[in-house]
Amino acid sequence: MARRGLLLLLLLLSALQPLWPSALPPPGTAAGKAAIASLILSALERATVFLEKRLPEINLDGVVGFRVLAVQLKGVQEEWAQDPPLQPLSLRAGKLVEKLEALLPRSLRYLQLSHPQYLREFRPAVQPGFWKLPHTWTRTNASLVYSTWEPQDLFSEGSSDRCLVQLLGTGMDGAPPCRLSDPCRTLMTRPGCSGYCLSHQMLFFLWARMMGCTDGPFHHSQQYLNVLCANMMDVNRRIEAIGYTFPTQDLFLENIMFCGLAGFSDFYKRRWLEAIVSWQRLQEGCFGKPAATGEAAPRAPQSPRRLLRRVKRQEKEFTDGCLAHQTTTAVAALGGFLYILAEDPGGRWSPATPSST
C-alpha cells in the first residue's frame, strides 16, 4: 500500500476508535490518589516477584526498567513520607525499593556470566545514579509530527547500539563519553523515523541528558526531544486506534517510559494506565503474549503492523509467553504513572476532558 494510503487508513482507524472516559477515580482527592496508587503498586509488586523468580534468566534489557522503577519509587516514597493519609503507600513503595535494591546487584552477577560484553558496554544504564527523574513537565506539540515516514529497513539495531556505546564511552577504543561521530549524528538526528527507529533516537538523546552531555547537537537536546516525543505520541495514538494489538504493546510502553522520563506529562493518560494494568499476566506477574483463552487474539491490519513492526532488540521470551523487554518497559511506564501522581499535585497528567484523559 502506498504511504499516503497507509496514513489515510491509520487516520480513519484513529477516528473510529472511541475514547471512553476513564473508570478510575480522579486523582485530585486523597482517596482517588490512594486508589490509583494502590492499583499501580499491586501491579509492580507482582512484576517484582516475576523478576525474583526469573533472575538468572533475565537479560540486561529486562533489568533496565527495574532500575528505573527503583528510582521512581524512591521519588514517590520521599513525596508521600510526610503526608499522613499517604504514608502507608510511602511505606509500601519503600519496601518495594528495598527488594529491588537487593535483586538488581544479583542480576548483574548473572549477566556477567551470560553476557559479559553486552554488560560491559551498557553497564551505566543499570547502575545507581544514572537515571534522573523530571521535576518540570511539558506536553507534546502535534505540529511537530512528521508528514511522512522513512522505511524502517533503513534503520540498523547494530548501528544504533554502536552509537549508544560511543555516547556512554564504554567502547574498547577508550574514547570519552558524550562523543558523536558523523555517522551517529546522521543516524540519530535523521527526520522521518517511526516505530523503534524513533524510540532509539529518543533513547540516545535521553541518555545524553542523563549524562549531562552539552556539546554539539546535545546543546539542542530539548528541541530533539520535543520532536521525537511528538511523533512517539502520534505512534501511541495509532497503536491505541488499532486496539493495542500484540506485539505493538511493547513499543507503546517504551514510548511512555522514555517520554515520561523526559517530562512529557501527556503520556500519562488514565485510560492508558487502565489498558496497561489489564495486560499484566496476574499469575506470572509479567507482561508478554496475550494469555490463551481458547480464542485467537485479535490481529491488527497488516499495514499498521508493518508500520509499527519490531526492530530486533535484546528480547527474552519465556516458555509461558512472558517477555523480559515488554515487562521492563511496563514497570518503568507504571512507575512513571505513580511518580507523576506523587510529584504533580496539580494532576496535570489527567485532564478533565474525556478526549484527552
DSSP codes of every residue in 260-295: HHTTBGGG--HHHHHHHHHHS-TTT---BSPPP-SS
Q: Using pLDDT thresholds of 50, 70 and 90, give the confidence band for residue 337.
A: very high
Count of other CB atoms within 10 angstroms of residue 45: 14
| Nearest residue to 263 via CA among 290, 229, 231 | 229
Mean pLDDT of 324-343: 95
pLDDT in tens, 340-356: 999 875 555 554 333 34
pLDDT in tens, 5-31: 334 434 444 443 433 345 676 666 777
Contacts (Cβ under 8 Å, ≥6 apart) of 249: 239, 279, 287, 326
Reply yes or no on whether the pLDDT at 176 is more than 60.
yes
Q: Count the domains in the chain.
A: 1
Q: Is residue 224 part of a domain?
A: yes
| Nearest residue to 191 via CA among 142, 228, 240, 152 | 228
pLDDT in tens, 143-158: 999 998 887 656 778 8
Q: Express as a percent the part of the chain with pLDDT over 70.
A: 80
User: What was the pLDDT predicted at 173?
Assistant: 83
Q: Is residue 336 part of a domain?
A: yes
Start-end of H helices in 54-156 = 60-80, 87-114, 116-122
Contacts (Cβ under 8 Å, ≥6 apart) of 356: 266, 269
Q: Using pLDDT thresholds of 50, 70 and 90, give the confidence band for residue 175.
A: confident
Set of cell numbers at residue 161: 547500539
User: What was the pLDDT predicted at 349?
Assistant: 55
Contact 236, 256 (CB under 8 A): yes
Q: Is residue 133 part of a domain?
A: yes
pLDDT in tens, 243-253: 999 889 999 99
DSSP codes of every residue in 19-47: -PPPSSPPTTSHHHHHHHHHHHHHHHHHH
Q: Is residue 109 part of a domain?
A: yes
Q: Is residue 87 part of a domain?
A: yes
Note if the bond before 247 is cis, omega within 30 degrees.
Answer: yes
Mean pLDDT of 71-95: 93
Cα 270 to Cα 9: distance, rounded to the nearest angstrom: 26
Crossing angle for the helix pair 87-114 and 30-53, nearest 10 degrees? 20
Q: Is residue 295 part of a domain?
A: no
Return the C-alpha torsion angle 133, 356, 253, 178, nearest 10.
-40
Round the average pLDDT of the chain to a whole number and report it: 84
SS3 322: strand
Measured CA to CA in angstroms, residue 76 lies from 99, 341, 351 at distances of: 16, 8, 21
Contact 59, 314 (CB under 8 A): yes
Contact 325, 257 (CB under 8 A): no
For residue 265, the enclosing domain spans 28-289+301-356
| Nearest residue to 201 via CA among 222, 187, 215 | 187
User: What was the pLDDT predicted at 152?
Assistant: 62
Count of other CB atoms within 10 angstroms of residue 315: 16
Mean pLDDT of 170-183: 90
